[in-house]
Amino acid sequence: MSKLSGLPDSVRSMDRLLTLHTSLTETAAASAFFERAVLLLDLGHRALAMADARHALRLDPTYPEAMALLCRLAAEVAPDAALQTVAQSLLQSPFACNEDRRQALSALDPATLPLILPLEQPLGLRVTIVQRQGESLTLQGSDPRDQILPLAQDNGRQCVAFDCHFARPDSGTRQVTVMPENRAPQIVTIGAVSCPAPAPCLDGRPKAPLWIIMPLKDGGTVLRQCLRSVLQDLSRLPGAQLLLVDDCSTHSATRRLLAQCAKQTGVSVTRTPAPLGFTGAVNHGLHLIGKGPVLLLNSDIWLPPGTLAHMLQHLDDPEVGTVTPLSNNAGSLCLLGPGRAAPMPGPDICNRLAEAAFQHNRGKAIDLPNGNGFAMLIAGKCLRDVGLLSGLYESGYYEEVDFCLRASLRGWRHVAAVDCFVGHVGAATYGAEKNRLVNANFRRLERRFPDYPALYRRFAALNPLAPFANRLLQAVTADWAPEKMRDIPKHPGAAEIMLPDLENGPRILPFEGDLPGPLLHHRFRHLRLVRQADLTAAGITLRPGHDLIAKADMGSGHVTLRDVRADELRAQFDCHGASTADFADFELSMLDLLPKAKWIGGDHAVSG
């Protein structure tokens, strides 16, 4: 049963809203801002709810519930271009349920109709069509297996939506012509069901102590620096082979650089026939190499001397399928902690971090839920067991997680080589597109492996890499102080809220410092103890205002209530051995001293 059971819904909403106001930061997840949007809407603040829903969508452009809420809120305002985009994205979303997709019609401008929105699906093509009520539609080239299903209608907007599910042919392609009444015909092409690509056959191919596959697409100075470090370490490992997969770079300087690299011993260059993205480029390379372990390496890294040999040593354990080094920016392997990326330091600091890793953590490996593709070494037998990277993901993120989870099902382990460090710039190729790719691909991964999010959360909470990473940080503390990267959109700013005056609603008692645990965690019915610093940070002003502050003496367990303006002691409470009745008496005393008016008022900022 919830701790808030028995309280009115409005009080529970205000309680949760207060918690979010005083705890949300600009690094909070999209779901937290979405939750606050729902609470604000419940309390009648539509404009602020829309601001938070928009911010949730900035953080996660694939968030269907946030899109649906925005479309629902848009029903009472004039359609604008931004909401039109949101509505179309919602209708076309592969992740939204039909109930959420129906909300999109509330935000559509009838002047933009008809809409024809195709979505590729594994077994077919879904084409969502939105048109004015009463208009006709003709399909040419349909198949008996095709289905046309109604989705929604909006009488206020005078529009109707339906989904056409076109089946894939057994081979080749088929075409369907969609002919709306007031729009030019549109031809959609449906390809055959694709089968997973088989793992490349390695019979008769040469064996190498290590194959390195580096997909790249231009990259400028970052690429040049990366190749310099990789070629230096490659020369220390006789027989190792580097395959540079040029995914249709457009800069002539890149082609000249690759031509120079191809002259080096053990280096070869291949160019993809068309832009394939990370997954396609890696799989292209996997079809060209021979037997032996394979290192997938991003083109925006710095590889310190000796790293290749040190990583290979971890494959001496026959159960290890993948090996990933520590980094400044590598998901769960970040030095600052899981998901806390830091900007890449200069090459000298990277080399010193690698030296410290080998000196303090030599031979140590820690089990991971999955490796990270920025520098992931794969055992040759593991690769043969699992096969190529999955093509289900938009290129750039989570393909390697999918690979590792498939490997785990076959008994392979994934380890962090905590005696290795590789610097990583991160997002050098994808730039602003990173946010959408990350969220969309994570949703795809969650559908295939629903237990993975909980697995990752447990690992992140335990953070078993922390003591090993801290040794590296301590070794360079005088010359490098990493700060967490801030690469997420900021909340648009502050706004004023007037919360309703509820009969018997909760009232706030600010406190300074630390309160004893029994008092801090006790659930009072009407009293809410909140840190003054949190109230200030969130811009919350109590109205009617008061100067009462609670303070605690952690040694004695005594809590005092002082009037800071008058510098007067108003009450005192001993937490040691306090009973439930004592806590009830404390609450009654505080409520008797606090102003008996609106619970919160006035002005407080909604900040990211």
- 501-523: buried (b, 16+ CB within 10 Å) or exposed (e) per residue? eeeebbbbbbbeeebbeebeebe
Residues whose CB falls within 8 Å of the CB of residue 573, separated by 6 or more in sequence, listed in order: 519, 558, 559, 560, 561, 582, 586, 589
Provide the 3-class DSSP secondary structure of residue 159. strand
Confidence class of residue 309 from pLDDT cuts 50, 70 and 90? Answer: very high
Mean pLDDT of all residues in 508-523:
79
Which residue segments constitute the domains of the chain, with CATH numbers given?
A: 27-108 (1.25.40.10), 113-195 (2.60.40), 211-475 (3.90.550.10), 507-593 (3.40.50)
The answer to whether residue 501 scores a pLDDT higher than 60 is no
Q: 109-118, 239-248, 271-280, 498-507: which has the highest mean pLDDT?
A: 239-248
Comparing 35-44, 142-151, 402-411, the range with the smallest average pLDDT is 35-44
Confidence class of residue 493 from pLDDT cuts 50, 70 and 90? Answer: low
Q: What is the pLDDT of residue 244?
A: 97
- Residue with structure tokens 């848009």? 74
The answer to whether residue 454 scores a pLDDT higher than 90 is yes
pLDDT tens digit string along 56-106?
A: 998 899 999 999 999 998 877 666 788 899 999 999 999 999 999 999 998
Q: What is the pLDDT of residue 332?
A: 94
Q: What is the pLDDT of residue 417?
A: 98
Residues whose CB falls within 8 Å of the CB of residue 65, separated by 6 or more in sequence, listed in order: 34, 100
pLDDT tens digit string along 216-260?
A: 999 999 999 999 999 999 999 999 999 999 999 999 999 999 999
The answer to whether residue 208 scores a pLDDT higher than 90 is yes
Q: How far apart are CA 150 and CA 357, in angstroms?
A: 60
Number of Cβ within 10 Å of residue 581's Cβ equals 8
Provide the 3-class DSSP secondary structure of residue 295. strand
pTM of the model: 0.77
Q: What is the pLDDT of residue 305?
A: 97
The answer to whether residue 570 scores a pLDDT higher than 80 is yes
pLDDT tens digit string along 313-361?
A: 999 999 999 999 999 999 999 999 998 999 999 999 999 999 999 999 9
Q: How far apart are CA 77 and CA 456, in angstroms?
A: 41
Q: How far apart are CA 416 and CA 365, in angstroms?
A: 5
pLDDT tens digit string along 520-563?
A: 778 787 787 877 776 665 555 665 567 888 888 777 778 888 88
Q: What is the pLDDT of residue 606?
A: 33
Q: What is the pLDDT of residue 491?
A: 61
**Closest to 104 measured CA to CA, from 125, 82, 89, 126:** 89
Q: What is the pLDDT of residue 73?
A: 87
Q: 163-172, 188-197, 292-301, 433-442: which has the highest mean pLDDT?
A: 292-301
**Closest to 508 measured CA to CA, from 480, 473, 532, 472:** 532
**Closest to 306 measured CA to CA, from 334, 321, 292, 325:** 325
Mean pLDDT of all residues in 248-274:
94
Q: How far apart are CA 23 and CA 32, in angstroms?
A: 10
Max CA pair span of the chain: 89
Confidence class of residue 40 from pLDDT cuts 50, 70 and 90? Answer: confident
Confidence class of residue 196 from pLDDT cuts 50, 70 and 90? Answer: low
Q: What is the pLDDT of residue 36?
A: 82
Mean pLDDT of all residues in 422-449:
81
Give percent of the chain above pLDDT 70. 85
Burial class (CB in 10 A: 0-12, 13-18, 19+), 475: middle
Confidence class of residue 487 from pLDDT cuts 50, 70 and 90? Answer: low
CA–CA–CA angle 543, 546, 548 (5° rounding): 140
Higher pLDDT, 395 or 429: 395
CA–CA–CA angle 460, 464, 469 (5° rounding): 105
Higher pLDDT, 2 or 52: 52
Confidence class of residue 486 from pLDDT cuts 50, 70 and 90? Answer: low
Which two three-digit tokens encode residue 190? 């449906």
Higher pLDDT, 222 or 184: 222
Higher pLDDT, 590 or 502: 590
Q: What is the mean pLDDT of the chain?
A: 85
Confidence class of residue 48 from pLDDT cuts 50, 70 and 90? Answer: confident
Higher pLDDT, 32 or 261: 261
- Residue with structure tokens 């609670």? 550
Q: What is the pLDDT of residue 117?
A: 94
The answer to whether residue 461 scores a pLDDT higher than 60 is yes
CA–CA–CA angle 110, 116, 118 (5° rounding): 145
**Closest to 596 measured CA to CA, from 544, 557, 554, 522:** 544
Q: How far apart are CA 34 and CA 60, in angstroms?
A: 10
